Every structure is written in C-alpha cells, then in structure tokens.
C-alpha cells in the first residue's frame, strides 16, 4: 500500500487555491463565508463536525446547494490518536453518514481534529476512501483569534498555486476569520487565482 501522508499542497500549473473551513456549520459565520464566495464566484471545502451538522442541518444543506464541498471532520472532534482504532472508525462513520444524508454522496477527504494523526489513523482514513488534508497556512492559527492582520499575513505568505488554506467557521467567535478571508479572497482573485474545492484541486 502506498505511503499515506497529509496533503497541504498540490503541485499544479494553474493559479488555484483551496480555502477550507473547519468545525461548522455555524448559524452566524458559515452564511457570511458563503456570501464572500458567492460574490467572488469561487468554491470552498467545509470540514464539518457531525454534531454541528445535526444541530444545523439547514446550514449544511445551504453549503451543499451553493456548490461547495462538504468533507469529514469527525463526529465529536476528538484527537483520534487518543482513541482506539475502533472508536476512531466510529467517529468517521457517524460523520460520513451525515455527509451522505446532506449531499447524497460520500466525502472524499478528511481532516483530523488538531491535525492529530499517526500511521494507523492515516491508514484508517485511506481504507475509507479519504485523502487526509492538512494546511499550508498553519502559522495563521486563526483558531486562536490572533487578530485579522495576523491571519491575513500568515496566510498570504503561505499561498502559492495549489495551496490548501485552513480557517474556522465554527466553535466560538469567528469574526476575525471572516474578515481575514474577505481580504484574502479579494486579493487572490484580483491576482488571478481561482478558488477551488479540495477535490477539484486533487483532480488537477
């Protein structure tokens, strides 16, 4: 079996970038993100938590309707490396059921909460048909609310064609993130970048 690894960057010729959003859907911030991408004519990938999908099914459905990708971010957001493989598998399975319910299809990718993976988790994800997705702009640390400017600068410096960028639209106040994403989307589209989903990026 091929060596599994976390994908943060895909080698492509074209100016494309994949924005990803973790921990939603959220009734306040997810619609704001959708609005940014609608105006820009781009798409993103939402790594949703199963429990949040159950709490806000209408917003999950709205994300799918708008043409964005929904991917697996587990059911309860544990560090999978601290669970048994059976428990980790159950986390993926329960989230996958909800993705299928909303989209009618299977999730193609998975992001481990806290980037918590080891070889067993990578193999488990691969067995389920997932690519495991990381991020090129981890230094932006938007989950810590370090300020809009920090998020923008540390994401901007990580961007090159084929980059996967991580942001959060759930769990807490995400207004800094939304503002940073607004700035980055405007800059990147003005610079000729297309905003694509993770699956589109992997298919290129």
Given a contact cutoff of 8 angstroms between Cβ atoms, the answer to whether 12 and 162 are in contact is yes
pTM metric for this prediction: 0.97
Given a contact cutoff of 8 angstroms between Cβ atoms, the answer to whether 47 and 111 are in contact is yes
What pLDDT, on the 0 to 100 scale, is given for residue 103?
97
- Cα 46 to chain center, whole Å? 4
- Whole-number Cα distances in Å, 148 to 6, 52, 139: 27, 25, 13
What pLDDT, on the 0 to 100 scale, is given for residue 3?
52
Helix (H) or strand (E) holding 16: strand 16-22
Residue 22 bears catalytic tag: yes
Provide the CATH number for the domain formed by 16-203 in this structure.
3.20.20.370
Residue 168 bears catalytic tag: yes
**Active-site residue, selected from the candidate residues 43, 73, 77, 168:** 168
**Active-site residue, selected from the candidate residues 22, 23, 142, 169:** 22
Per-residue tens of pLDDT for the chain, all 204 residues: 345 789 999 999 999 999 999 999 999 999 999 999 999 999 999 999 999 999 999 999 999 999 999 999 999 999 999 999 999 999 999 999 999 999 999 999 999 999 999 999 999 999 999 999 999 999 999 999 999 999 999 999 999 999 999 999 999 999 999 999 999 999 999 999 999 999 999 999
- Tokens linked to 192: 């000729």
- Tokens linked to 76: 């309860």
What pLDDT, on the 0 to 100 scale, is given for residue 33?
98
Query: Could you give the CA distance from residue 125 to residue 122 in angstroms, rounded to a whole number?
Result: 5
What pLDDT, on the 0 to 100 scale, is given for residue 74?
98
């Amino acid at each position: 079996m091929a060596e599994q690894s976390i994908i943060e960057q895909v080698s492509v010729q074209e100016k494309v970038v994949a924005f990803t959003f973790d921990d939603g859907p959220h009734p306040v911030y997810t619609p704001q993100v959708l609005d940014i991408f609608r105006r820009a004519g781009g798409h993103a990938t939402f790594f949703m938590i199963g429990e949040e999908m159950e709490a806000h099914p209408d917003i999950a459905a709205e994300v799918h309707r708008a043409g964005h990708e929904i991917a697996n971010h587990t059911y309860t957001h544990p560090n999978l490396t601290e669970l048994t493989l059976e428990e980790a598998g159950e986390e993926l399975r329960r989230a996958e059921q909800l993705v299928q319910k909303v989209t009618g299809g299977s999730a193609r990718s998975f992001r481990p909460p806290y980037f918590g993976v080891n070889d067993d988790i990578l193999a488990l994800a691969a067995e389920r048909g997932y690519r495991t997705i990381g991020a090129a702009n981890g230094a932006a640390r938007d989950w810590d609310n370090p300020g809009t400017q920090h998020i923008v600068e540390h994401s901007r410096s990580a961007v090159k064609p084929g980059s996967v960028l991580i942001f959060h639209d759930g769990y807490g106040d995400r207004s800094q993130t939304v503002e940073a994403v607004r700035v980055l989307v405007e800059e990147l589209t003005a610079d000729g970048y297309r905003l694509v989903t993770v699956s589109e990026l992997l298919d290129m």
